[in-house]
Structure 1
Amino acid sequence: MSPAELEEYRAFNADSPLEIRRIYVRESALWMAPGFDPTMPGQHLQGSFRSYDGRVDCRLMELSDGSQVRSCLFLARFEFRYTEVPPGVNTLSLDAALVAPAVAEVSATIAADYACLRSEFPSMAVLQEYGRTNGMVHMWPYWREYCQNALMRMVLPHTTMPLLNLRRKEEAERSAAQGAAAEAKPPRKRKTPKARA
């Protein structure tokens, strides 16, 4: 974000102009590889996940009583996958785990729908930053619950999703410039603890 957009975002966020209406799953998928048996004991599985900042769609809706509602819909995609760790290997690197063939996957697109309390919608840069920060904070608990529930129903090892860790893009760039390892966004990659079935 430019300094002007960042200032606009801070002013926008300070006013709390968005009121949450609903959070819900728009799309989801559960998948297991052919031949993979989740009930087989002793499998060395490693979980990894990633999230993708999604799109923002704002619209003016006309209600049946003639009133109008300004609505902003934020969408984000979340994915979790288990890969089998080869014999003799303790843990796969994050990059290796994300490209290795998966034995099971859980994915969902989650929507956060907000009513805009202002007479005009803010700029797209402000809305995208709001979705990347506040929106993700609101959607993450829904993803955690959905994924953990799906893993249980798929008879896969229980994995607790970590708490959300947001870093501002500018902070990540500053860290990278200082020699720290900073991952580019989107997508954000996360590694979960390995699990044994």
Structure 2
Amino acid sequence: MVSIKKIKSKKRISFKDLFSDENALIDQFIKSNTLLNTISLVGLFIVFQYLFSQIRFFIPDNPVPVTMQTFGILLVGGLYGPRLTLLSIFSYMIIGIIGVPVFQSHNGGIDYFFGVTGGYLIGFIFASVIISILSNSGLKKGLSIWAMIIGNLMIYVTALVWLTVYDFGWPEKGKLFSQAVYPFLIGDFIKLILASLSVNILWKLSKINK
């Protein structure tokens, strides 16, 4: 007689679960589910992202500077949960759009946001949220670098689409990748390694604190 096995249905991942901060690294040190802590952590991100954006240098004949902004984006994605990450990055972008000079070179305003660097800025939003979702879904600790690689690629994809759709007089015709991607690869690789190491160290520290 053939026995009938009960098939357990797998739990479906809801939108609420996807954006849950329950397993976030930051919650190993400070609970982000209170209003005061949420406001404090969002404010902390804005301050540090502003500081990172001012660490910059320009490549010859390139209007897009090399900054530490990407490091901040990778780090917040690995550190905060999806909900807190989304809230933080949107808050940063909104205050920049309304004119607060939080972008690189103390820039701000809607014209700057929708300028030549707009694709990179929009890419920051997608990248940070994707990294935090992937990190919360299992790509954390030693695997965090893979989430960050995917996030970094999202920045490039968004920037390339932006620069293809809108004409800013740059990059020059036929030099989209050579001017908008290749010059940033080495710096982004270094920032990616630093962010991944930082997240791994913090995970180890969280175990010590328990």
Scaled by the length of structure 1, what TM-score is found?
0.30
Normalized per residue, the structure richer in helix is: 2
Scaled by the length of structure 2, what TM-score is found?
0.28
